[in-house]
Chain A
Amino acid sequence: MPFMKGAIRKDEYYVVIFGCGRLGSRMANWLSTMGCSVVVVDRSEEAFQALSFEFTGFTVLGDATELDTLKEAKVDKADVVLVLTPDDNTNLMVAMSAKEYFKVTRVVARAYDPNNIEMFSDFGIEVICPTLLAVENIKNVLYFIGGDER
């Protein structure tokens, strides 16, 4: 799937990120340095301190589960929405609102519990599961255990 819809300039993507924790802030910093227009939403003002000097986007202080916060962040105009709060239920709710209510083309959400992946996928939400990623990585690290390589 192409990264973005339509003929928007690569450096003019409008990306809304929910959750400014370790992952959210890193993504926001990186997307900013790539030239994207980024809005980060978090309910804690302190969380925004994780954003680096290179971050050129906007911050919105608010509860992601409230529709007004999504409207304030202009989710309806987003090319991509990343839902990266630490709670699967919140992530599902926000991602569903972005997909179904605001009709955002690309919504990517984090699901900690692999059992929730199907639920996200049913709504056309792309899922990143840290647990499965870690499992795959650990498997790669432990490739020698099978003993076949010898």
Chain B
Amino acid sequence: MALVYVVDDELNVRRIIKQTMENEGNEVNAFVTAEEALEAVEKRQPDLIFMDLTLPSMDGIQFLKELEDRAYSIPVVVVSAITSPESIRAVFKLGIVDFLTKPFTPQELRQAAELSFKNEESLQKRTREIRRLIEEKEFRKASSLLREFFADFPSSPYPHFLYALLIKSSNPRVAARHLRAALSLDEEFKEASSELKKLEE
């Protein structure tokens, strides 16, 4: 069972998402404003957020930036009636998992949720697997898995971090560059910053 937050000022949208996600056995909390949702995130981090772009006071883009500033990596699915390419590009740049246009079907909602759960699970699982291979010095296998990892998660800091671990003894300069890339994607990435410090010493 996952914890799902819904942020939308339209009652009907909150109801539809709540009903569909609860039918799947998830716990769902709905919020009218982004401020309320942020407060809830601080108290209890959800596994997934469905969010509208047009919200009273703080809008969806500000909300995503705020999540990023506070170093949360929660999968977000945007549900919006706004379909301009600029808006869609802007929110994808901020790392959302999917974009659903209103009206949406329950099947579309379920697919978006499955996609985000799969992404998150796959990211963590693959990070663990590649790390294990590096620790066991199975470099060739780790390197081949990393290539796919880069292609599947280009905006994640983990492929850069793992690549740095893989090559740090043979090529510390390039490893440092990848650690910096990982830190530019996630400033709060503690392991990356401590590895970088070690390399710079």
Contacts and interface: CB of A to CB of B under 8 A. Distances in A.
A35 B105 CA distance: 12
Contact of A57 (B12, B20, B108): B12
A39 B12 contact: no
B105 A57 contact: no
A37 interface: yes
Residue from B11, B103, B108 having most chain A Cβ neighbours under 10 A:
B103
A70 interface: no
Interface residues of A, number: 16
A35 B106 CA distance: 11
Given A9-B23, A11-B23, A12-B20, A37 B12 contact: no
Given A37-B105, A57-B103, A12 B23 contact: yes
Contact of B12 (A14, A35, A58, A77): A58
Contact of A14 (B15, B23, B102, B106): B106
Interface of B: 11-12, 15-16, 19-20, 23, 102-108
6 contacts: A9-B23, A35-B19, A37-B16, A37-B105, A56-B11, A56-B15
